[in-house]
A and B are shown apart, each in its own frame.
Chain A
Amino acid sequence: MRGKLSKMSEKRNIRDHKRRLLAAKYELRRKLYKAFCKDPDLPSDMRDKHRYKLSKLPRNSSFARVRNRCIFTGRPRSVYEFFRISRIVFRGLASRGPLMGIKKSSW
Chain B
Amino acid sequence: MSFGSLKSLVAEAAIRGVTEARANIFGHVLNPTGQRSSHKILRKKLIGQKVAEWYPYDIKKDDPLVMARQEQERLNKLEMLKRRGKGPPKKGQGKRAAKRNK
Choose from A23, A36, A38 the contact partner of B52 (Cβ within 8 Å): A23
Q: Mark B35-70, 1 if CB is under 8 A from A, else 0.
A: 111100110001111011011101000000000000
The residues of A that contact B37 with a CB separation of less than 8 Å are 39-40
Choose from A28, A66, A71 the contact partner of B56 (Cβ within 8 Å): A71
Choose from A36, A40, A66 the contact partner of B35 (Cβ within 8 Å): A40
- CB pair A20–B41 under 8 Å, yes or no, is no
B interface residue count range (under 10 / 10 to 19 / 20 to 34 / 35 or more)? 10 to 19
- CB pair B36–A27 under 8 Å, yes or no, is no
Of all chain B residues, the one with the shortest Cβ separation from A14 is B55
- In the bound assembly, the distance between CA atoms of A34 and B42 in angstroms comes to 9
- In the bound assembly, the distance between CA atoms of A67 and B55 in angstroms comes to 12
- In the bound assembly, the distance between CA atoms of A86 and B58 in angstroms comes to 19
Q: Is A53 in the interface zone, CB < 8 Å from B?
A: no
The residues of B that contact A20 with a CB separation of less than 8 Å are 51-52, 54-55
- CB pair B54–A23 under 8 Å, yes or no, is no
- In the bound assembly, the distance between CA atoms of A71 and B53 in angstroms comes to 12
- CB pair B41–A38 under 8 Å, yes or no, is yes
Q: Mark A1-40, 1 if CB is under 8 A from B, else 0.
A: 0100000000001001100110111011001001110111
- In the bound assembly, the distance between CA atoms of A82 and B38 in angstroms comes to 31
The 10 closest A-B pairs by CB, nearest first: A24-B48, A27-B48, A24-B52, A35-B38, A39-B38, A35-B41, A20-B52, A35-B42, A17-B55, A40-B36
B residues with a Cβ closer than 8 A to A are 35-38, 41-42, 46-49, 51-52, 54-56, 58
23 A-B pairs in the complex with CB atoms less than 8 angstroms apart: A2-B58, A17-B55, A20-B54, A21-B52, A23-B51, A24-B51, A24-B52, A25-B48, A27-B47, A27-B48, A28-B46, A31-B42, A31-B46, A34-B41, A35-B41, A35-B42, A36-B38, A39-B38, A40-B37, A63-B47, A63-B51, A68-B54, A84-B54
